[in-house]
Structure 1
């Protein structure tokens, strides 16, 4: 994208990337969360020029498929495949276990000029939904219907173990970014390997735009995209909401190493999902989303292709 629409203070101004990068640092920081694609209206990001020669650019992870600014890529193709995988999971599984320890796949193959995968690029390992059974036995969390079915071995429900899928944060984030129905579904979601804590998906997955401080600081899976960071790389600022900050100072070195982040530019426009709690700052002027127990395994960042 060479141009982006900025709606700061309700005044719509179209900037070329060449004009935008000449603004003062203060103006760029103020405007960059108000950018959108001039063609389809999808939220857009600005990435500054890199020290190794990559040019400044606008972009969006929210282009409509018929947008003239949308260009297929290996990354986009993989994200759409992940969305299809999760959509199938919603049809086939009775529940989903989030595997926070699952390692991300390696970056997808680059596309050649004719749109085909570059065979010289690294092969992706198979993802797999990992649908497994759950041991029987009535627990305190079973509904009356589930308990009755388990108590009656003749019933059809009792003869089939619930199908529980397992997925990592990478696939779940990609599916949400590409419009899967996960965040609106009634699927049961387990957030611990012992399956003690479960949620309806519609009550667990929250886009940053809808984040609100919860009673008792109850955790949720917050997701969206990153607009930018502060100069010291201590806070992440979501593109989806202007009044939210994500502190990363307590685990910054581990996060930078885990996701190969060497510059603020690496985070501009990146997708993110994290298990955390939302609360107000002291003067209730800004919402804070804090990573649960500062455990970096409970966070995933999907950097953009260069």
Structure 2
């Protein structure tokens, strides 16, 4: 994508014009970009260490967006068949271990968990027992990105902590607030930029926006295993990816919202195809 609209000032930038505003401007406003035609969430990626040119991109575009058609089919879009699309009749069993399933109330829906800590009993209908399937985090993330019907649904999703409604469990990054601190959710959204910090004990910070926006922090102890799963050596390459992480929202002493990843099975990334 050759251009992107900055949601802060309304200007449609080319890469050259955007970079011409200086590093400080780029660092701040790269987190506030959208497709100028359809308004889909956009990103900026600096020139890579291997010489790939700086660029804009957006995902997902609206269905008939001409800029989306020009970009072509991107990695991480919904593929055909049942392996990607979650059917509305399914009760979802989350597969954190790529097939090493932990049985989570397999025969009885049990308690539906309120994200604020109040459980209530779910009473199934009188019809046929609901279909239930194990789903990987990557499949859940794709459906969250590309299916508004799924992310706003009443479907049940089973975790070791209990059962939740899909629309109550998953929170997109722009909707995260301090009122959720201490709560366990499935947090997801686009990564605007990434960095290694602090020096000497480098955790990976996947940022979703400005200083007040939430970040996902991959613990330094997971570095080797994380890099085997996602072989990216330049943090700039994470720009434009999507991430889903299960965990508890925290607030640092400097009032920074973040989710700490200490177990690799609790996180999934969908990387942009230009990587």
Q: TM-score range by the shorter chain?
A: 0.7 to 0.9
Q: How does 1:205-284 map to 2 (within 5 A)?
A: 205-213=170-178, 217-230=182-195, 232=197, 234-239=204-209, 243-250=213-220, 251-284=222-255
Task: Please state how far the C-alpha of 1:183 moved relative to its aligned partner.
Answer: 1.9
Q: How does 1:192-207 map to 2 (within 5 A)?
A: 192=160, 197-207=162-172
Question: Aligned pairs, how many?
Answer: 255
Tell me what 1:68 maps to.
66
Distance in 1 between the 2:140 and 2:23 partners? 34
Task: Please state how far the C-alpha of 1:186 moved relative to its aligned partner.
Answer: 1.2
> Relative to structure 1, is the Cα distance of residues 252 and 83 closer, same or farther in structure 2, using a 3 angstrom cutoff?
farther
Question: Residue 69 of structure 1 aligns to a residue in which SS?
Answer: helix
> Relative to structure 1, is the Cα distance of residues 22 and 204 closer, same or farther in structure 2, using a 3 angstrom cutoff?
same
Question: Which protein has the bigger strand share?
Answer: 2
TM-score calculated relative to the size of structure 2: 0.80
Question: Residue 21 of structure 1 aligns to a residue in which SS?
Answer: helix
Alpha-carbon RMSD across the aligned residues, in angstroms, is: 3.0
Question: Residue 217 of structure 1 aligns to a residue in which SS?
Answer: coil
Task: Please state how far the C-alpha of 1:213 moved relative to its aligned partner.
Answer: 3.8
Task: Please state how far the C-alpha of 1:169 moved relative to its aligned partner.
Answer: 0.9
Question: Residue 40 of structure 1 aligns to a residue in which SS?
Answer: coil
Q: Is structure 2 residue 98 aligned with structure 1 residue 98?
A: no
Q: How does 1:8-23 map to 2 (within 5 A)?
A: 8=8, 11-23=9-21
TM-score calculated relative to the size of structure 1: 0.72
Task: Please state how far the C-alpha of 1:282 moved relative to its aligned partner.
Answer: 2.3
Q: 2:260 aligns with which of 269, 290, 294?
A: 290
- Residues 174 and 213, structure 2, Cα contact 8 Å, conserved in 1: no
Q: Which runs of 5+ in 1 are unaligned?
A: 104-132, 150-155
Q: Is structure 2 residue 5 aligned with structure 1 residue 5?
A: yes
Question: Residue 77 of structure 2 aligns to a residue in which SS?
Answer: helix
Runs of 4+ in 1 over 4 A off after TM superposition: 82-88, 138-142, 239-242
Question: Which protein has the bigger helix share?
Answer: 1
Q: How does 1:125-140 map to 2 (within 5 A)?
A: 134-135=106-107
Q: Which runs of 5+ in 2 are unaligned?
A: 100-104, 113-119, 198-202
Distance in 1 between the 2:110 and 2:270 partners? 37
Q: How does 1:148-227 map to 2 (within 5 A)?
A: 161-192=129-160, 197-213=162-178, 217-227=182-192
